[in-house]
Amino acid sequence: MRIYPIIVDGKEVDTGKHATFPDMDKVVVDPGIAIALQMRDTSAMQRLVFSRLPSFIPRSAPEMRYLRDYRRAHGVPRYSKDELDESTYAEVAISREPDIEGALSAGVRDRPKLYNPFKLLSTGVTLDERVEALYQAGLAIKKRFQEVRDVSVKEGVPIKTFEWTWTMFTEYLERETFELWGRDLDLKEAPGRDGGKNFQFREPYGVTCLFTPYNSPLALGILSITSSILAGNATILKPPSKVPLSTILLGQAFLQTFQEMGLPSAMIQVLTGGGKTLMDRFTSDRRVGAIVWYGDSDTGIELWSEATRRRIQMAPELAGSDACLVWGRDVNLDFAAKMIVKGRFLGSGQACMAVKRLLVQDTLHDDLVRLVVEEAEKLQLGRPSDPDVSLPPLGLTAMYLLLDQMEDARAKGAKVVTGGFRCNYLSEPDTAGLFYKPTVLTNVEASMRVMQEEVFAPALPVLPVGSIDEALRVANASRFGLRSSVFTDDQSVSLRWAKEIEAAGVSVGQDHLYFDPHMPHLGGYKDSGIIGAKYFPVMLTRMKYVHSGPAAEFL
C-alpha cells in the first residue's frame, strides 16, 4: 500500500502516523466498507453502540446521521480483515507539531529569497524566474495525467468530471497565464514632481497557508498554489482531509521541478491533518502572513474576522446561491437548458459557483423546464471508473443539508418534476445511499430554504418571473453574491442584469462555470466575500511604494 508523505523543507516525510483512505470506486458500490473501516479504528464501546444500540447513536452531526441511516437500512456490515485490507487504497502521513514548526521555520528562512522586486543579481527569485518555474512545473504535471487521473478516481472523482477539470484548469499552467497575472505584481516606475522617481510593487506576505477544498481539489489546488508562488510567498499547502491524495501529488510535482531548478526549498511545502487544528495553529502563529480558505460562509466569515484581528491577510472563498435568468422572445432555450444543467449538476452540484436558483420569464417557464428535465435525466451517477458517469457521491454534510431543504420545500408545496430521492450507485432508492438523483423543483416560493440557503447538492428550484424588476428583486434578496448568468436575446436585459445584479461575476449567454486566465479568481459580494471579484496573486501581496529624491541613488 502506498503511503503519501508530507513535504517539509524540501524533504518528503513519512511521520509514522497515518490516516487510511479506502478505494472510493469500491465504496460507491458497497458503502459498508467505509463504515467497517471506520469501526475498526473506534473503541469497543462505540462498536457496541453501533451494532447493538443504534438508537443511542447521536443525531448531532451528518456523520452520525449517516451511521444511523445505514444501520437502519442495511444492518451491521461484516467483512474479513483481508477484505478490508483489499479495499484500502492508501495511507497519508499526518503532520506532527515538529513538522509544522519545521515548515514555518523554513518559510521564514526562505522568505527573503523568494522575491526580488528590483531584479538585482543574487538577491532572490525574480518575478520572471517564478513565472518560468511555474511553467516548468505545469509541464511536469501534464506529464503525470494518467497518474493524477487514476488517483482522483480512487478518491471518488468520475472520469468525466476529472477530464473536464483537467482540460480547463491545466490551461492555467501556461507561461502566458503567469505573465498576465504577474503584470499587477511587477515593479512600476513613474516620475516624481520633485524630479525624482516613484516606484511601486506588490510585496508577498511571506508564509502563506492554503486550505484547498474537497469538492474541487485539482482545479482550486492549481489555482491556489500557482497564485501564492507567483506572488512570491513561502507556500504551505494543506490538502483537503477527505481527498488529500491528488493534492499531495500536485505538491510533489511542484517540489521536484523547483528542486531541479535550484530554487528555495520552502517555495512549496505540504502539511496534513485536521482542518480546524491546523487553522487554529496557523492563525495563532505570528509568522503566518496570509491564508487561503474555501468553505461555507458562516465559518469563513468567522475565520476571516479572527485572521484580521491577528493581522493575517485572508483570502476566503465562500458560499454562493447563484441566480440564472432566462428571458426573451427568441432566446435559444435548448442551449440555455444545456448550460443550466451543466452549471447546476456538475460534481453533483457541489460547487460554490453553480446555478442554484433558476429564474425564467413566465411565458417560457414550461418549455424551459421540459428541456432542463430532459437534460438532467441524461446525467448518470455510479462508479467513478465508469466513463459514462458524471455525478460523484455527495459529501455527508451536503447530503443531510439537502434532505432537510427538500423536506422544507415539499412541506411548502414545491413540486418535484424529476429526481427528488436519495439512491445508491445504481440509481435505486436507498435511504442510506451516497447519491441524490438530479432534481428539478417547480412551484417554489422565495421563502423556501432551497431559495434562501446555499444548495450544495444536485437540486434546482425554478421560479417564473413576470418582469426584470421581479427577477432582480428575487435574485438580490439572497445573502450571497458569488456569480450570476443570463440567457437572453435582448441586449438591454443583459446590460441591466450585469449592472444591477448583486454578484461579483456575470456570465452572458455562456456556461455559468466558464473560466479563462483573463478573468478574476472568484470572489463575491455580501456573504460570498464582501470585497467583490479578486485575483489571488494580488490579494496574497500588499502594495509597497518608494520615492527617491532627484539626488538620491536608487535604481
In this prediction, residues 123-152 reach a mean pLDDT of 97
Q: pLDDT tens digits, residue range 96-114?
A: 999 999 999 999 999 999 9
In this prediction, residues 321-340 reach a mean pLDDT of 98
Q: pLDDT tens digits, residue range 500-551?
A: 999 999 999 999 999 988 899 889 999 999 899 999 999 999 999 999 999 9
Whole-number Å distance between alpha carbons of 172 and 114? 21
In this prediction, residues 259-288 reach a mean pLDDT of 98
Residue 41 pLDDT more than 90?
no
**Per-residue three-class SS string for 147-203:** HHHHHHHHCCCCHHHHHHHHHHHHHHHCHHHHHHHHCCCCCEEEECCCCCEEEEEEE
Q: Residue 33 corresponds to which amino acid?
A: I
In this prediction, residues 433-457 reach a mean pLDDT of 98
Q: What is the model's pLDDT at position 245?
A: 98
Q: What is the model's pLDDT at position 168?
A: 84
In this prediction, residues 202-227 reach a mean pLDDT of 96
Side-chain half-sphere of 494: how many Cα atoms within 13 Å? 14
**256-265, 488-497, 511-520, 535-544: least confident range:** 511-520
Cβ-based burial of 224 (10 A; exposed 0-12, middle 13-18, buried ≥19): buried
> Which residue of the set 352, 375, 453, 454 is catalytic?
352
Residue 143 pLDDT more than 90?
yes
Residue 170 pLDDT more than 90?
no
In this prediction, residues 185-197 reach a mean pLDDT of 97
Q: Which helix (H) or strand (E) is 219 found in, with range? A: helix 217-231
**Domains (ranges, CATH) in the chain?**
18-90 (no CATH), 95-318+535-544 (3.40.605.10), 322-518 (3.40.309.10)
Is the CB of residue 482 less than 8 Å from the CB of residue 528?
Answer: yes
In this prediction, residues 66-90 reach a mean pLDDT of 95
Written as nine digits, the cell of 380 is 448518470
Indicate the pLDDT class of residue 229, thresholds 50, 70 and 90: very high
The model's pTM: 0.96
Q: What is the model's pLDDT at position 522?
A: 85
In this prediction, residues 311-321 reach a mean pLDDT of 96
What is the CA 148 to chain-centroid distance, rounded? Answer: 17
Side-chain half-sphere of 80: how many Cα atoms within 13 Å? 3
Whole-number Å distance between alpha carbons of 467 and 518? 33
Q: What is the model's pLDDT at position 169?
A: 83
Q: Which helix (H) or strand (E) is 38 found in, with range? A: helix 32-40
Q: What is the model's pLDDT at position 136?
A: 98
Residue 171 pLDDT more than 90?
no
Rg (CA), the chain: 25
Told to judge if 317 belongs to the known catalytic residues of this protein, a careful annotator would answer yes
Indicate the pLDDT class of residue 1, thresholds 50, 70 and 90: confident
Indicate the pLDDT class of residue 366, thresholds 50, 70 and 90: very high
Is the CB of residue 41 less than 8 Å from the CB of residue 83?
Answer: no
Q: Which helix (H) or strand (E) is 469 found in, with range? A: helix 468-476
**209-213, 358-362, 458-462, 512-516: least confident range:** 512-516
Residues pairing with 441 in the sheet: 416, 461
Q: What is the model's pLDDT at position 455?
A: 98
Residues pairing with 360 in the sheet: 326, 464
**165-169, 293-297, 522-526: least confident range:** 165-169
Indicate the pLDDT class of residue 172, thresholds 50, 70 and 90: confident
Output the average pLDDT for the chain: 96
Percent of the chain with pLDDT over 90: 95
Q: Which helix (H) or strand (E) is 71 found in, with range? A: helix 62-74
**348-352, 460-464, 528-532: least confident range:** 528-532
**164-173, 178-187, 402-411, 541-550: least confident range:** 164-173
Cβ-based burial of 41 (10 A; exposed 0-12, middle 13-18, buried ≥19): exposed
Residues pairing with 188 in the sheet: 200
In this prediction, residues 65-83 reach a mean pLDDT of 95
> Which residue of the set 155, 317, 375, 454 is catalytic?
317
Told to judge if 324 belongs to the known catalytic residues of this protein, a careful annotator would answer no
